[in-house]
């Protein structure tokens, strides 16, 4: 994968973190350096760890699926992208009744925003991509966009966050199409 593709994939994955951070940014819980650091650090860390887990699983089964790995990569990226688009178009917005920057709420949000990254890790294994550079870029992008989302959340509100999930989903679907077309042509 090229650096541009990795950056686009990282941005697509980070849109969940960005959207959640925008929502949290509109609450009283996101004021102060410590909550900002905790949220952005954990979102970035989990976004970096989940592809490693997916890649580890994927490398074990890569030989079994090499004949149709491009279809699998397209399917996984498309599935994740469609899920993000559906979530972004859903009018129901979550309200945070307890501090999302602490304890189990922080861990659950970190896992929830990074499950898609597990599927990306599987995809990277199918494409026989070295995991180090994508994981570094994904983690930094998620942490940075989370911090940015928290900081501007007070100004932009929750409705903008939903639109960002749609954009992230479209980016992942386009990367999946590129993978499929590059193997077919």
Contact 126, 62 (CB under 8 A): yes
Domain that holds residue 127: 3-91+100-184
Q: In the prediction, which pLDDT does 136 show?
A: 96
DSSP string of 11-73, one letter each residue: HHHHHHHHHHHHHHHTSGGG-SHHHHHHHHHHHHHHHHHHHHHHHHHHHHHGGGGTTSHHHHH
pTM over 0.75: no
156's CB contacts (< 8 A; 6+ apart) are: 22, 25
Contact 153, 35 (CB under 8 A): no
Please state, in angstroms and rounded to a whole number, the distance separating the CA atoms of residues 138 and 14: 7
What's the domain count of the chain? 1
pLDDT per position as a tens digit, 128-148? 889 999 999 999 999 999 999
Average pLDDT over the chain, rounded to an integer: 82
pLDDT per position as a tens digit, 96-116? 456 788 888 888 888 888 888
Above 80 in pLDDT, residue 180? yes
Give the count of beta carbons closer than 10 Å to the beta carbon of residue 180.
Answer: 17
Q: Quick one: pLDDT band at residue 11, thresholds 50, 70, 90?
A: very high
- Angle at 147 (CA atoms; ends 145, 148), nearest 5 degrees: 60
């Amino acid at each position: 994968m090229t650096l541009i593709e990795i950056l686009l994939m990282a941005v697509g994955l980070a849109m969940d973190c960005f959207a959640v951070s925008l929502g949290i940014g509109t609450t009283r819980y996101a004021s102060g350096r410590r909550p900002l650091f905790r949220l952005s650090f954990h979102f970035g860390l989990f976004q970096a760890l989940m592809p490693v887990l997916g890649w580890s699983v994927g490398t074990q089964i890569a030989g079994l699926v090499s004949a149709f790995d491009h279809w699998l990569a397209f399917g996984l990226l498309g599935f994740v992208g469609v899920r993000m688009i559906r979530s972004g178009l859903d009018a129901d917005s979550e309200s945070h009744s307890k501090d999302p920057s602490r304890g189990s709420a922080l861990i659950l949000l970190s896992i929830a925003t990074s499950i898609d990254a597990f599927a990306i890790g599987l995809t990277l294994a199918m494409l026989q991509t070295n995991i180090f550079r994508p994981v570094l870029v994904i983690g930094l992008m998620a942490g940075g966009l989370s911090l940015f989302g928290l900081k501007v959340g007070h100004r932009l509100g929750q409705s903008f966050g939903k639109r960002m999930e749609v954009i992230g989903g479209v980016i992942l679907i386009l990367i999946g199409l590129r993978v499929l077309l590059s193997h077919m042509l």
